[in-house]
Chain A
Amino acid sequence: MKLFFSVYLILSVIISIPLFVMIIKRSGFYNKFAIVLSISNHVVMFFMLVGLIDGRIDMYIDVAISFAVLSFISAVIVARFMTGKGGRND
């Protein structure tokens, strides 16, 4: 199964390369921000796969959960900053 997980990891990295290109090519804050959040899901999967390949999934799964929760909180904070008091529209 380690071979399958390694191939899966390489494929998921190849899938996320166009997203990095799109961050540079797309214009506008929200486009770039949406793509960054999309990449964060890929990173969560990346952590899990590295944990499975390494054989220490217990450690990597904690990092993945922390990363998922932090990306969610950062998205909410940035959205609040863009519209709330002190944001662009004030």
Chain B
Amino acid sequence: MIDFRNGLTVLFMAVGLVFMVISVAGVIRFPDIYSRLHAMTLGQELGVGFCCLGMFIYEGFTNAGVKILILILVTMIAGPYRTHVISRVAYKESSYKNNGDITGGRQNSGDITGGRQNNGDITGEFQPDENKIGKDNPVENEIYDDEAARTVKNDSDKRRNDRCL
């Protein structure tokens, strides 16, 4: 029976170590803060959870075992909330600094057309007349719309940042 319990302990702790290795690899390799936080949360919580579960099996239902269960509970509650708070703050700060661009200035982010400005014409035949002046020119209209939307977004960001979390 003791051998079976020790075997389960070794198994769970080994699984936890594997999760932690994956988490560290993700923190090192992933390109930006959001994906890094994602890897960190999943890997670390599962890693610490499995490791503590192995220790609980080793200890059994003693005082220390119950405290280990409490530690698992604290870790499982605190970790995701902590990650959520940090990613939210990072998003706010990035959005405030770069006018809504959270990609840190990478080109064509989210633009699946690769920068073509054909106003939804997927045939590629639409060519806006740049000599038109005023609101009849679709290119200038687009610029006006962008500026208005950006102004509204900046105001809402400022209002959001004035509030506490």
Contact = CB atoms under 8 A, between A and B. Distances in A.
Indicate, yes or no, whether A interacts with B.
yes
Interface of A: 1, 4, 8, 11-12, 15-16, 18-19, 22, 28, 30-31, 33-35, 37-38, 41-42, 44-45, 48, 52, 57-58, 61-62, 64-65, 68-69, 71-72, 75-76, 79-80, 82-85, 88-90
A68 to B, nearest CB: 5
A88 to B, nearest CB: 7
A31 B85 contact: no
Contacts of A80: 164-165
* Smallest CB-CB A-B distances: 10 pairs: A72-B78, A84-B164, A89-B161, A79-B85, A30-B90, A41-B44, A61-B67, A75-B82, A57-B64, A79-B89
A58 B59 CA distance: 11
B89 A83 contact: yes
B85 to A, nearest CB: 4
Chain B contact residues, majority secondary structure: helix
A25 to B, nearest CB: 9
Interface residues of B, number: 48
B24 to A, nearest CB: 6
Interface stretch (B9-17, B117-125, B126-134, B145-153): B9-17
A81 B17 CA distance: 34
Contact of A45 (B48, B70, B93, B161): B48
A61 B71 contact: yes
A70 to B, nearest CB: 10
A38 B47 CA distance: 11
A48 B44 CA distance: 15
A64 B131 CA distance: 70
7 contacts: A12-B20, A37-B40, A38-B40, A48-B55, A85-B162, A89-B92, A89-B96
